[in-house]
Amino acid sequence: MIDFSRAQLTHFTIHFVGNKGLGEELTYGEKTIEFKDDFVKETILRYFLAPFKTDIYHQFKGKVDVSLASVANACEDLFTSRKDFIKLSKEVAEHLYNQSMHPKINGGEFFVCYFKDAMVDGEFTDAVGFFKTENKETFLKVYQHVDEFDVDCDNGININKLDKGCLVYNTDKKNGYKMSIIDTNNRVAECALYWEEDFLNAKIKANGYYHTKNFIDTSRGFCEEILTEANNVNKQDQMMMLNKSTSYFKEKDKFNIKDFEKEVLVEPGVIEAFHDYRNDFNKRMDLTAIDEFDVSNTAVKKNQKYMKTVVKLDKNFHIYIHSKHDYVERGYDDEKNLKYYKLFYVNEE
């Protein structure tokens, strides 16, 4: 859980980081920003911090040579002292500029911040923030002069849409710190990871979210690749298994592989096939099998979009099955030479 209600923004500066590959400029801010009033400061805080609400954490991949510019090195120095805040922020800006080579990476303002008293999983800690704007929006400005009005247009930042952001928390240093990452402007495949990997050199942290997501991905892959009609498994049974798997995670706070086998897989043959698939999946994805972990509600909610509740029959019928899969039977009519579904129910609404 992340709570910024008591967080204080103590240092704040702005640079402009253009696209180096297109010959755009890197322009440095030379001082920290002083806010002219509390409203502006609170608006800035909401823009930077409001998107960071989930338990999806990242960490730096590893120690970088101290002679090289890196976000990890800068954060370590800033957590020790803020006396070189501007100098270090410039180094990070230059590092981002050097990664901005793809022609579809937009230039924009780059904000570097230092926060005190952020609450992260029950612990008060400092945090270094890096934020970048890549999109501007047009908005109207209406002016009233006694009984007359004027309308003008301007371009600016939508404070409800943070393009890119990162908060590095001063905790778990030995494991590459704990960090939160936002990237809502990563639809171009060729430059989708330049913020997370090229700039931050980060990877997802192995916590409850990480383990829950990986196991749900494994379960979905098993249903879609193994439980198929080619392997004599009909679509209803495939959908039932996928939904049972998702429902298991919705109902549990902790995952245990033995419980999962008993409640979801059930049949020995299915359990064995799942073990084989899981081993292969982990090898392909370079994952370590974890048989017990805390379930992440964030990962479960993100997975709900994969739940299948509709069986499509040719182009004539759709059957919506939300639960009670044992109330559905599938068969074949030899006389009509057609497949069929039989539905059982208690009440008709």
Is residue 129 within 8 A of residue 114, CB to CB? The reply is yes
Is residue 307 within 8 A of residue 246, CB to CB? The reply is yes
Residue 120 burial (C-beta neighbours within 10 Å; 0-12, 13-18, 19+): buried
Residue-averaged pLDDT of the chain:
88
Structure tokens at 340: 């069929």
pLDDT in tens, 43-78: 999 999 999 988 789 999 876 555 566 899 999 999
Hunting for tokens 């101290």 — which residue is that?
A: 66
Structure tokens at 104: 């579809």
- Looking at the chain, the whole-number percentage of residues with pLDDT higher than 70 is 94
Q: What are phi and psi of 181, to 5 degrees?
A: -130, 135
| Cα dihedral 328→333→336→341 (10° resolution) | 10
Identify the bridge partners of residue 123 per DSSP, sorted by sequence position. Answer: 120
pLDDT in tens, 214-228: 999 999 899 889 988
- At residue 85 the predicted structure's pLDDT band, cuts being 50, 70 and 90, is very high
pLDDT in tens, 115-142: 999 999 889 999 999 999 999 889 888 8
**What confidence score (pLDDT) does residue 108 get?**
95
Please give the Cα distance from 16 to 79 (Å, whole number). Answer: 24
**What confidence score (pLDDT) does residue 251 get?**
86
Show Cβ contacts of residue 183 under 8 Å, excluding neighbours closer than 6 positions. Answer: 163, 164, 165, 192, 195, 196
**What confidence score (pLDDT) does residue 348 get?**
79
CB atoms within 10 A of CB 323: 11
- Higher-pLDDT residue of 20 and 245 is 20
**What confidence score (pLDDT) does residue 180 get?**
95
pLDDT in tens, 137-183: 898 888 888 888 999 998 888 888 999 999 999 999 999 999 999 99
Domain boundaries of the chain, sorted by first residue: 2-205, 209-343
Whether residue 283 is predicted with pLDDT greater than 70 in this model: the reply is yes
Residue 24 burial (C-beta neighbours within 10 Å; 0-12, 13-18, 19+): middle
Residue in 211, 295, 291, 214 with CA at minimum distance from that of residue 254: 295
Whether residue 245 is predicted with pLDDT greater than 80 in this model: the reply is yes
Please give the Cα distance from 91 to 155 (Å, whole number). Answer: 29
Residue in 312, 137, 291, 292 with CA at minimum distance from that of residue 235: 312
**What confidence score (pLDDT) does residue 167 get?**
97
CB atoms within 10 A of CB 340: 11
- Looking at the chain, the whole-number percentage of residues with pLDDT higher than 90 is 51
Structure tokens at 184: 């809502």
**What confidence score (pLDDT) does residue 125 get?**
96
Show Cβ contacts of residue 328 under 8 Å, excluding neighbours closer than 6 positions. Answer: 236, 319, 321, 341, 342, 343, 344
Hunting for tokens 């709900």 — which residue is that?
A: 304
pLDDT in tens, 284-340: 998 888 999 999 988 888 777 655 556 677 777 877 766 666 677 778 888 889 888
Show Cβ contacts of residue 184 under 8 Å, excluding neighbours closer than 6 positions. Answer: 161, 162, 163, 164
Residue in 74, 122, 119, 120 with CA at minimum distance from that of residue 96: 74
Structure tokens at 29: 């801010």
**What confidence score (pLDDT) does residue 76 get?**
94
Residue in 267, 284, 282 with CA at minimum distance from that of residue 227: 267
Q: 3-class SS at 295?
A: coil
Hunting for tokens 């805040």 — which residue is that?
A: 85
**What confidence score (pLDDT) does residue 233 get?**
79
**Amino acid identity for residue 190 in this structure:** E
**What confidence score (pLDDT) does residue 79 get?**
96
